[in-house]
């Protein structure tokens, strides 16, 4: 069997570790065409058509729509990562070639990132850093100390209780907070978690809100000025989901005055702040530029012993299922494709 | 029964909440003599001798040694907090008056503090903060990103596996690290934790070291240049225990070069750094001035609904045992007294 990856830009060392390449060998011959090689597109399409399985993901060349109607040997496209609208055209999703992605494999890392930000904000870590930099020490800033809290007994509201939200619960439960959640789509519920019927109720009764929802027409800008206004002073908002869920102007207005606190891995639009944005110096906010879920240290990409990441395990599991004629996991249909963000 | 607290300085609002005062009422008449009142010491001693139980703790007037030989009505001294050598003289420990302290009640808060610092260092949060302040954003600083890790699979070495170490384990286990521990005094051991026989072995095989030991002649300066040198590049040291356990000059030499990272709630000597110490700006270190375990937010000291803290529960439990004629918990004998730091 022929497995093919065509790189569009430098191949991600995190994705293409030696350990992963070794683990692919039992499935067939792997060819990786690096970026920057001068091959006309028509030839690249021929190379694709000669492969049995296309491996895509961060940095992969987009698969041309013609593969939907003239697939050649291509029987399966295994997308190693999540979002794929810039890589896989809708025509292919509609074709008979199954396309899978990393499914729930990054859930742990996202949940861990949310925990880091929640604890850091709750303990006012940036306040400590700032007061030390400014020459203060013990009780240097009584306000900073007064905002230093604990998760024990803290009222935490989860906006979304899907796979990531449930991973997050596994991590936070030993800290013994009081947890409620809003998720109108959850079919089952979890012991010890209060189910609330509206976002208003969630925001009104929580010291900290943690967003684990997807971005849809329904959730877009749903965290608005009215909801934020219901939060208590020094209340905490954690967003490691999607920036578009929050009305950023409304949030920034609250953060600028110092009334609320936030840990923001994601932002509206292109996830960036201008270099001179004053928010960069707000001591009540930590921005992590969509990188809080990274897990690079102590694994060096060139490390021959780098363990398989969960996304690798997802890919290998699906390849095995493909070989065995078993149903693939996390096949992307038109509906899921449309929800991707 | 008469309960007496004499304040030496302003009574700690965290200790003397309304909720706690209310909870004391069933045990008898509580008198609090505030600081700054002009009463000669001899009169204060008479007031002590007229009480059945003395309540001491942060900010309490030291109990004079004469109470050991002339206790009057005093039958029990309930010290609300931990360290007591500045408050209770050895003569009283040697006398027939039992003295108790908060025992294991602050263990959760210390363990939580160690988790906050470990996660923050592992995720390189200060690196993110600094790069944002300096106008960078996504991948602005590749070095900062490369040091962003995860607890999953991380090799963590615990120096000390007493009550706080075990609390810490409860919090960290769901993150699925690989844990080993060194504690020559632990009588029992815990499933899934590798027991190592030396500090050398612990430091050599861990990405992160978390100190949960007490300060004794044996542990003082035990984390020295040799051990620190065994840690891998970007290795993390977390100390929420006692500063004296670490050879601070050796540690600062490693931190100054950026080779290691540290989260330090405690420091050698008086737990302080000079206002102009360059370490305050090291991006690979977070100092929290012995306040990481504070848990003030969202509880305001004047809040009539402030919940009882675990130290209050410990005190109330012991008062009940005293009334019932049951054995008190955490009686301080000469050996424990000598180990206090």
Q: What's the whole-model pTM score? A: 0.85
**In whole numbers, what is the pLDDT of chain A averaged over residues?**
93
Residues 6+ apart with CB under 8 A from B148: A291, A292, A294, A295, A296, A297, B122, B123, B124, B127
- A36-50, B2-16, B188-202, B254-268: which range is least confident on average? B2-16
Chain A residue numbers touching B119 (CB-CB < 8 A): 112, 115-116, 119-120
H/E stretch holding A92 reads: helix A90-94
Nearest-neighbour CA in chain B from A125: distance (Å): 8
Chain A residue numbers touching B232 (CB-CB < 8 A): 298
DSSP string computed for A25-90? GGG-EEEEE-TT----HHHHHHHHHT-SEEEE-TTBPPPPTHHHH--TT--EEEESSS--TTTS-H
Chain A residue numbers touching B313 (CB-CB < 8 A): none
Q: What pLDDT, on a 0 to 100 scale, did the predictor assign at position A307?
A: 75
Q: What is the distance between the alpha carbons of residues B291 and B277, in angstroms, rounded to a whole number?
A: 19
Q: What pLDDT, on a 0 to 100 scale, did the predictor assign at position A17?
A: 85
Q: What pLDDT, on a 0 to 100 scale, did the predictor assign at position B237?
A: 98
B140-158 per-position pLDDT tens digit? 556 666 788 999 989 999 9
pLDDT-derived band of residue A278, with 50, 70 and 90 as boundaries?
Answer: very high
Hey, which residues does B262 pair with through a beta bridge? B237, B285
B246-302 per-position pLDDT tens digit? 999 999 999 999 999 999 999 998 889 999 999 999 999 999 999 998 887 776 555
pLDDT-derived band of residue A270, with 50, 70 and 90 as boundaries?
Answer: confident
Mean pLDDT, to the nearest integer, of B155-170?
96
Mean pLDDT, to the nearest integer, of A119-147?
83
Chain A residue numbers touching B108 (CB-CB < 8 A): 152
Q: What pLDDT, on a 0 to 100 scale, did the predictor assign at position B299?
A: 65
Nearest-neighbour CA in chain A from B1: distance (Å): 33
Mean pLDDT, to the nearest integer, of A290-307?
74
Q: What count of other Cβ atoms lies within 10 Å of the Cβ of residue B169? A: 20
Question: What is the predicted ipTM?
Answer: 0.85
pLDDT-derived band of residue B15, with 50, 70 and 90 as boundaries?
Answer: confident
Asked if pLDDT for residue B340 goes beyond 80, the answer is no
Nearest-neighbour CA in chain A from B192: distance (Å): 18
Reading the block at residue A41, the tokens are 């597109």
- Please name the residue of chain A whose CA is at the shortest distance from the CA of residue B292: A123
- Tokens 């988790």 belong to B115
pLDDT-derived band of residue B309, with 50, 70 and 90 as boundaries?
Answer: confident
pLDDT-derived band of residue A308, with 50, 70 and 90 as boundaries?
Answer: confident
- A254-268, A304-318, B321-335: which range is least confident on average? A304-318
Nearest-neighbour CA in chain B from A78: distance (Å): 25
Q: Are A129 and B126 inside 8 Å of each other by CB? A: yes
Q: What pLDDT, on a 0 to 100 scale, did the predictor assign at position B129?
A: 93
Nearest to A287 among B116, B128, B207 (CB): B128
Q: What pLDDT, on a 0 to 100 scale, did the predictor assign at position A14?
A: 76
Q: Are B120 and A116 inside 8 Å of each other by CB? A: yes
**In whole numbers, what is the pLDDT of chain B averaged over residues?**
93
Q: What pLDDT, on a 0 to 100 scale, did the predictor assign at position A144?
A: 66
Nearest to A286 among B112, B125, B295 (CB): B125
> Which residue from B145, B171, B137 is spatially nearest to B156, judged by alpha carbons?
B171
Q: What is the distance between the alpha carbons of residues B71 and B68, in angstroms, rounded to a whole number?
A: 6
Q: What pLDDT, on a 0 to 100 scale, did the predictor assign at position A301?
A: 55
Asked if pLDDT for residue A143 goes beyond 90, the answer is no
**pLDDT above 90 covers what percent of chain B?**
78
Q: What pLDDT, on a 0 to 100 scale, did the predictor assign at position B139?
A: 59
- Please name the residue of chain A whose CA is at the shortest distance from the CA of residue B128: A288
pLDDT-derived band of residue B303, with 50, 70 and 90 as boundaries?
Answer: low
Q: Are B152 and A295 inside 8 Å of each other by CB? A: yes
In the A/B pair of chains, how many CB contacts fall below 8 A?
168
Q: What pLDDT, on a 0 to 100 scale, did the predictor assign at position A222?
A: 98
Q: What pLDDT, on a 0 to 100 scale, did the predictor assign at position B333?
A: 95
Asked if pLDDT for residue A140 goes beyond 60, the answer is no
Q: What is the distance between the alpha carbons of residues A62 and A335, in angstroms, rounded to a whole number?
A: 20
Q: What is the distance between the alpha carbons of residues B328 and A242, in angstroms, rounded to a whole number?
A: 53
Q: What pLDDT, on a 0 to 100 scale, did the predictor assign at position A166?
A: 95
């Amino acid at each position: 069997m022929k497995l093919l990856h065509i790189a569009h830009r430098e191949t991600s060392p995190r994705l293409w570790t030696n350990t992963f390449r070794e683990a692919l060998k039992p499935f067939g011959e792997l060819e990786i065409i690096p970026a920057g090689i001068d091959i006309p597109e028509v030839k690249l399409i021929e190379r694709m058509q000669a492969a049995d399985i296309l491996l895509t993901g961060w940095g992969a060349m987009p698969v041309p729509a013609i593969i939907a109607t003239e697939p050649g040997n291509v029987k399966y496209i295994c997308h190693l990562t999540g979002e794929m609208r810039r890589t896989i055209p809708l025509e292919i999703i509609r074709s008979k070639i199954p396309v899978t992605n990393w499914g729930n494999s990054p859930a742990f890392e996202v949940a861990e990132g949310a925990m880091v930000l929640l604890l850091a904000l709750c303990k006012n870590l940036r306040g400590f850093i700032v007061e030390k930099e400014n020459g203060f020490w013990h009780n240097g800033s009584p306000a900073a100390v007064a905002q230093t809290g604990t998760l024990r007994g803290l009222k935490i509201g989860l906006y979304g209780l899907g796979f990531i939200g449930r991973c997050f619960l596994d991590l936070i439960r030993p800290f013994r907070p009081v947890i409620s959640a809003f998720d109108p789509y959850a079919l089952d519920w979890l012991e010890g978690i209060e189910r609330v019927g509206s976002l208003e109720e969630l925001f009104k009764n929580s010291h900290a809100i943690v967003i684990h929802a997807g971005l849809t027409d329904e959730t877009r800008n749903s965290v608005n000025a009215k909801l934020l206004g219901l939060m208590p002073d020094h209340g905490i908002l954690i967003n490691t989901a999607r920036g578009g869920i929050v009305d950023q102007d409304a949030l920034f207005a609250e953060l600028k005055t110092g009334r609320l606190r936030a840990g923001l891995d994601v932002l509206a639009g292109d996830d960036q702040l201008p270099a001179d944005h004053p928010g960069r110096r707000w001591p009540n906010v930590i921005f992590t530029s969509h990188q809080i879920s990274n897990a690079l240290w102590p694994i060096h990409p060139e490390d021959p012993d780098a363990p398989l990441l969960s996304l690798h395990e997802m890919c290998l599991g699906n390849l095995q299922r493909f070989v065995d004629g078993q149903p693939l996991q996390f096949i992307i249909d038109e509906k899921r494709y449309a929800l991707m963000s």
